[in-house]
């Protein structure tokens, strides 16, 4: 069987992969947007976790075939399932699952693979469920999916660049995959692939700057999360039920909540306006938001008339080993590439305080926030 894909054209699907794809748990991903609310800024950014997951599986097959000489089917299935636990609008709802269920989307995904009908499909095949769960946890070859230049990142850069029309995210995938290898239980690159990997991190940097950090989508995300958190807090909706919803189900349910004004504003693209948007340094995010909320509401501004959000990079360790053709480690990308170091530092240190409000309140709120930060 083949899937027709916008990035890779024809993707071959095995029988067991097709059974997993047809499972309701996986079909749900058709209705989970890849980029959250980015479609409110980039009108063609309507890609979903469904096609991203299939694309990640395809890249995982390519990489494992290049490195090991054959496709690792358990690893490919892990690539297919790596985002199975995403709540509505992907990362935008994850604070709900972490706050109320103490689970990340990876934790939710692990539970689905282990305890749902997907587990039965895998167990009834020749594949090892334990091996897939091991890979899913990021162990051993699973790092080829979740690592700094893993199949997950490669696909979302290619796909998000294509869907948003932002050419800054374009990478040379055929060349990149040929430079990747696996040694000493870690992904690595060959010395002649350093420039290609630098290009990959340049693309990622510019996609963050132009797409992932965009203030308008961040405002919509914060509006959505504000209502969702209040709805769960008030008992209007159960957190366990919420994290397994599709995007449209969450929007509909929250639009009926008493605090639904912000949801209807999202649906009409009547977003709050940027009142304050500046980089900040060395602040405790949670403490800053709580104190600033109190300061703002003391001034008489209604709780539903503004949002506060910290925009920052949340990636992990990007270190990559470099080896020669004799499979000997010669160093790390950090040691060989000042460009990589600078880009990584810029992303990790960038932290933006975004405050948005009704248009008639932006000037007042800008002064309130500026005055507050001067007293800190």
- Position with higher pLDDT, 173 vs 283: 173
Distance CA(205)–CA(38), nearest Å, equals 17
Distance CA(155)–CA(58), nearest Å, equals 9
End-to-end alpha carbon distance in the chain: 61
Task: Give yes or no for residue 316 having a pLDDT over 70.
Answer: no
Average pLDDT, the chain: 93
- Residue 374 pLDDT grade (very low, low, confident, very high; cuts 50, 70, 90): confident
Burial 27-65 (b: 16+ CB within 10 A, else e): ebbebbbbbbbbbbbbeebebbbbbbbbbbbbbbbbbbe
Calculate mean pLDDT across residues 275-289: 85
Rg of the chain over Cα atoms, rounded to whole angstroms, equals 22
- Residue 259 pLDDT grade (very low, low, confident, very high; cuts 50, 70, 90): low
Calculate mean pLDDT across residues 148-154: 94
Distance CA(309)–CA(353), nearest Å, equals 6
Give the DSSP H or E segment for 230.
Answer: helix 215-233
Task: Give yes or no for residue 59 having a pLDDT over 90.
Answer: yes
Task: Give yes or no for residue 1 having a pLDDT over 70.
Answer: yes
Task: Give yes or no for residue 258 having a pLDDT over 90.
Answer: no
The tens digit of pLDDT for each residue in 332-365 reads: 999 999 999 898 888 888 899 999 999 999 999 9
Question: pTM of the entire structure?
Answer: 0.94
Domains by residue range for the chain, with CATH: 2-182 (1.10.3210.10)
- Position with higher pLDDT, 292 vs 27: 27
The full DSSP string for 226-267 is: HHHHHHHHTTSS-HHHHHTS-HHHHHHHHHTSTTTHHHHHHH
Calculate mean pLDDT across residues 98-125: 96
**Would you state the torsion angle of the CA atoms of residues 359, 361, 362, 366, taken in this order, to the nearest 10 degrees?**
-170
Cα atoms in the 13 Å half-sphere on the side-chain side of 263: 21
Distance CA(337)–CA(333), nearest Å, equals 6
Share above pLDDT 90 across residues of the chain, in percent, rounded to a whole number: 80
- Position with higher pLDDT, 287 vs 323: 323
């Amino acid at each position: 069987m083949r899937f027709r894909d916008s990035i890779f054209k024809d993707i071959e699907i095995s029988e067991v992969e097709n059974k997993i794809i047809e499972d309701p748990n996986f079909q749900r991903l058709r209705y989970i947007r890849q980029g959250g609310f980015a479609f409110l800024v980039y009108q063609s950014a309507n890609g979903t976790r469904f096609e991203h997951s299939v694309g990640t599986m395809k890249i995982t097959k390519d990489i494992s075939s290049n490195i090991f000489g054959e496709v690792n089917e358990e690893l490919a299935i892990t690539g297919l399932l790596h985002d199975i636990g995403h709540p509505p609008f992907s990362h935008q709802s994850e604070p709900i699952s972490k706050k109320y269920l103490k689970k990340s989307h990876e934790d939710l995904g692990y539970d689905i693979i282990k305890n749902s009908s997907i587990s039965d499909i895998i167990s009834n095949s020749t594949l090892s469920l334990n091996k897939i769960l091991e890979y899913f946890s990021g162990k051993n070859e699973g790092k080829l999916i979740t690592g700094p230049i893993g199949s997950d990142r490669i696909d979302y850069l290619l796909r998000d660049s294509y869907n948003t029309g932002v050419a800054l995210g374009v990478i040379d995938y055929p060349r990149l995959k040929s430079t990747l290898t696996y040694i000493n239980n870690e992904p690595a690159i060959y010395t002649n692939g350093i420039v290609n990997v630098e290009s990959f991190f340049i693309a990622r940097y510019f996609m963050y700057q132009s797409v992932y950090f965009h203030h308008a989508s961040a405002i919509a995300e914060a509006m959505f999360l504000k209502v969702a958190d209040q709805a769960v807090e008030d008992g209007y909706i159960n957190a366990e039920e919420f994290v397994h919803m599709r995007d449209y189900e969450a929007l509909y349910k929250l639009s009926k909540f008493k605090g639904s004004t912000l949801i209807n504003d999202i649906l009409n693209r009547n977003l709050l306006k940027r009142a304050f948007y500046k980089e900040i340094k060395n602040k405790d995010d949670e403490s800053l938001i709580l104190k600033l909320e109190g300061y703002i509401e003391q001034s008489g501004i209604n709780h539903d008339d503004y949002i506060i959000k910290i925009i920052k990079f949340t990636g992990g360790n990007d270190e990559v080993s470099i080896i020669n053709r004799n499979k000997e480690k010669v160093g790390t990308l950090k040691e060989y590439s000042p460009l990589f170091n600078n880009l990584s530092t810029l992303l990790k240190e960038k932290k933006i305080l975004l405050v948005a409000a009704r248009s008639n309140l932006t000037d007042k709120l800008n002064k309130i926030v500026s005055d507050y930060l001067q007293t800190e």
